[in-house]
């Protein structure tokens, strides 16, 4: 069985990364706990076959005994909000009531798009990461950067004037990058993968799901591999 040596990090295309910090159980945990139904025991090979059978039959309750805690850094706020819709998970999100969006802004290069993409999500079409048919992309990218700059200047001005940070944040861009912990069991993660690896999911959310899937294929390759193959999702990781 693969050894889990935390943390395991995968970078998200477009910005940010995911780390697996802790895991409860291993690749064959669902098969072992499923045997409680018959008070049976099995060899490692028998448990591998049972694991596949559980997935083929859609018998997912034993997978609730596999639990993972992810540290997700640098995703856009609106992707974080979509993640919160997966309610059978336990999120703990960074607070912009108590933290500044980014320290040291005054010392940075305001016109550097790579600098801004670390703080606020720049659409991948403007970074050469996704094909587009946008008129005047260079001009529009310049306008995006100026908009970000004005938003942060106004935020700083409001805070320096004495306005509460939780009130001043109303002027910050919706694409502001955030950080959170996200704990979930494998059954819920399977549902997440089915919905968020789908071609109809938002590009940024799909890239987050791909990064998570790559991590899980390292630590629970049988579980994640069987499931993605069974749902015809495995090939999407290469797109």
Element (H, E) at 54: helix 44-57
Please state, in angstroms and rounded to a whole number, the distance separating the CA atoms of residues 105 and 118.
Answer: 12
**Contact indicator for 222, 55 with CB cutoff of 8 Å:** no
Give yes or no: 32 in active site: no
Please state, in angstroms and rounded to a whole number, the distance separating the CA atoms of residues 99 and 107.
Answer: 18
Smallest CA-to-CA distance from 7 within 181, 176, 189, 192 is with 181
Of the residues 69, 177, 196, 206, which is catalytic?
196
Please state, in angstroms and rounded to a whole number, the distance separating the CA atoms of residues 66 and 92.
Answer: 19
Q: CA dist 216 to 86, 161, 192, 219, Å?
A: 18, 47, 13, 5
Strand, coil or helix: what is 93? Answer: strand
List the beta bridge partners of residue 11: 17
Please state, in angstroms and rounded to a whole number, the distance separating the CA atoms of residues 193 and 232.
Answer: 11
Place of tokens 């945990």: 29
Longest dimension (CA), the chain: 68
Please state, in angstroms and rounded to a whole number, the distance separating the CA atoms of residues 231 and 142.
Answer: 42
With b meaning 16 or more CB within 10 Å and e meaning fewer, what string describes 65-85? bbbbbbbbbbbbbbbbebbee
Q: Which residues are catalytic?
A: 196
């Amino acid at each position: 069985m693969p050894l889990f040596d935390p943390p395991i990090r995968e970078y998200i295309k477009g910005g940010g990364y995911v780390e697996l910090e802790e895991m409860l159980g291993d690749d064959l945990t669902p098969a072992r706990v499923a045997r409680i139904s018959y008070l049976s025991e099995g060899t490692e090979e028998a448990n591998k076959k049972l694991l596949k059978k559980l997935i083929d039959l859609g018998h997912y309750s034993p997978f609730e005994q596999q639990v993972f805690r992810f540290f997700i850094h640098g995703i856009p706020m609106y992707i974080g909000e979509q993640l919160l819709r997966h309610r059978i998970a336990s999120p703990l999100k960074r607070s912009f009531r108590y933290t500044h969006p980014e320290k040291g802004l005054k010392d940075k290069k305001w016109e550097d798009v790579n600098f801004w993409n670390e703080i606020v999500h720049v659409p991948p079409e403007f970074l050469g990461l996704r094909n587009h048919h946008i008129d005047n992309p260079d001009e529009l990218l310049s306008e995006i950067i100026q908009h970000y700059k004005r938003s942060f200047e106004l935020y700083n001005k409001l805070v320096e004037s004495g306005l509460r940070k939780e009130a001043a944040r109303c002027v910050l861009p919706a694409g502001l990058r955030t950080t959170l912990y996200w704990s979930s069991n494998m059954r819920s993660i399977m549902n997440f993968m089915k919905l968020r690896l789908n071609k109809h999911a938002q590009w940024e959310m799909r890239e987050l799901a791909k990064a998570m899937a790559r991590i899980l294929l390292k630590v629970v390759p049988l579980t994640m591999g069987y499931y993605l193959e069974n749902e015809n999702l495995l090939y999407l990781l290469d797109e």
